[in-house]
Structure 1
Amino acid sequence: MFIHKVDDDISLKLIELHDAERVFELTDKSRNYLREWLPWLDITNKLEDTKAFIQGCLKEYAENKSLNTVILYKGEIVGVAGFNSINWSNKTAYIGYWLGEEYQGNGIMTKVAKALTDYAINHLHLNKVEIRAAVENKKSRSVPERLGFVNEGTIRQAEWLYDHFVDHIVYGILASEWKRGGS
């Protein structure tokens, strides 16, 4: 099982089926907050939906295509983060994340994204890490900006959010930049 200690309070653990109840509870509790920027809230209405998501994550992890973890903060699951996909041909990992509303503002996600980036570059020996966020999603965009990621441009109408399209900013950092202290 994958477990990665970020600091004394934060760890990343491979998401597992026995995490489903807590992940669904956290999703449900933060539903209105998360719905502003995440397109899957309306199709995650029951525990079985979260279990199906986790089963997909575990299948892709076993196939070496992704790595999705729960974020443990002081021993409690507070969100999900990881590599939504890993492109081994191009040596690139794509980070995605969400955090329960009540855990925002504690620097958790910046530490998590830093740990994931470091893991991708120094342990998986990838060349690039990307994070994408909606143009108006200032909180999500601040994470890669704090870590020294480069704004590589905008993808117009990149994602359908319930009743409208949103543009995405693509942030990237290369292994050479990260090793020079991009964080």
Structure 2
Amino acid sequence: MFYHKIDEELSLKLIELKDAERVFTLTDSSRDYLRKWLPWLDFTTKLEDTKTFIKNSLKGYAEGESLTTFIVYQNEIVGTAGYNSLDWSNKIAYIGYWLGEDYQGKGIMTRVAGALTDYAINELNMNKVDIRAAAQNHKSRAVPERLGYVQEGSVRQAEWLYDHYVDHVIYGMLAEEWKKKA
């Protein structure tokens, strides 16, 4: 089972069905906040939807295609983060994340994304880590910017959010750049 301790108050653990109720409650309590930037909130309306997400994520992990973890902050699950996709042929890990509204502004996601970047490069031997965020989602964009990622470009109308498209900004970190920073 995957477990990665980041620091004294923060760790990542492989998602588990036993945590479905906590994650659904967290999702539900942050629904309006998360809905602004995440396209799946209207499809996560009951506990069973979260259980299906966990099962699908565990399948992706078992097949080596992705890794979804729960973010544990001070012994409580506060969000999810991981590799939405692992491109083994090109050695690229694609990081995705979300955090419950009450846990914003504590530096959690920057530490998590830094740990995921480090793990992808030093443990999975990836050459590149990619983070994408909606152009207007300044909080999410600040994460790769704080970590020194390079803004590589944007994709127009990259994602449909309920009633409109949003552009995505693409950030990348090469293994050689990350290792120089270490």
Same fold, judged at TM 0.5 (above)? yes
Question: Partner of 2:119 in structure 1?
Answer: 119
Cα distance in 1 for partners of 2:84, 2:154 equals: 19
Query: Counterpart of 2:113 in 1: which secondary structure?
Result: helix
Cα distance in 1 for partners of 2:36, 2:137 equals: 9
Question: Partner of 1:6 in structure 2?
Answer: 6
Question: Partner of 2:54 in structure 1?
Answer: 54
- 1:13 partner letter: K
Cα distance in 2 for partners of 1:175, 1:16 equals: 30
What TM-score does the superposition give when structure 1 sets the normalisation length? 0.99
Query: Counterpart of 1:6 in 2: which secondary structure?
Result: strand
Question: Partner of 1:35 in structure 2?
Answer: 35
Question: Partner of 2:19 in structure 1?
Answer: 19
- 1:92 partner letter: I
Q: After superposition, what is the alpha-carbon deviation per residue over 1:103-160, rounded to whole angstroms, capped at 9, x for unaligned?
A: 0000000000000000000000000000000000000000000000000001000000
1:19: Cα distance to partner? 1.0
Question: Partner of 1:174 in structure 2?
Answer: 174
Cα distance in 1 for partners of 2:134, 2:60 equals: 25
Runs of 4+ in 1 over 3 A off after TM superposition: none
Cα distance in 2 for partners of 1:126, 1:98 equals: 23
Cα distance in 2 for partners of 1:173, 1:80 equals: 21
Q: After superposition, what is the alpha-carbon deviation per residue over 1:145-182, rounded to whole angstroms, capped at 9, x for unaligned?
A: 0000000001000000000000000000000000010x
Query: Counterpart of 1:180 in 2: which secondary structure?
Result: helix
Alignment partner of 1:82 is 2:85 = no
Q: Which runs of 5+ in 1 are unaligned?
A: none
Cα distance in 2 for partners of 1:177, 1:69 equals: 25
- 1:22 partner letter: R
Cα distance in 1 for partners of 2:54, 2:44 equals: 12
Aligned length: 182
Query: Counterpart of 1:52 in 2: which secondary structure?
Result: helix
Identity of aligned residues (%): 71
- 2:58 partner letter: L
Query: Counterpart of 1:38 in 2: which secondary structure?
Result: coil
Alignment partner of 1:69 is 2:69 = yes
